[in-house]
Amino acid sequence: MLREEFIKTCVAAGYANKKIATWYADKKSEFSENDFIEIFRMIESAREVSCDHGKFRDVEGVRTTKRFK
């Protein structure tokens, strides 16, 4: 599969947006099913990290990103 087809398929299937699919496609010239798996895992990992982490919270008067349960 070629670069343009890979980007088009990623966007159509919802694996990544066009900007991220283009960024990923710049690293390679030939693509396979494993590339779809890799980009999906990369996006899911980024969503998992940004879901709750990185947001500041006030804990005992101090701003922190540490999670307390």
Q: How confident is the model at residue 63 (pLDDT cuts 50, 70, 90)?
A: low
H or E element at residue 54: none
pLDDT digits (tens, 9 = 90+) for 4-57: 999 999 999 988 889 989 999 998 889 999 999 999 888 877 766 555 555 655
Structural domain spans, the chain: 3-64
Other beta carbons within 10 angstroms of residue 59's beta carbon come to 12
Q: Which structure tokens are listed for 54?
A: 């990185």
Q: Shortest CA distance to 31 belongs to which of 21, 41, 19? A: 21
Q: Which structure tokens are listed for 68?
A: 């307390």
Mean pLDDT of the chain: 78
Q: What is the DSSP string of 23-34?
A: HHHTT-S---HH
Reported pTM: 0.65
Show the DSSP H helices in 14-69 as ranges. Answer: 18-25, 33-52
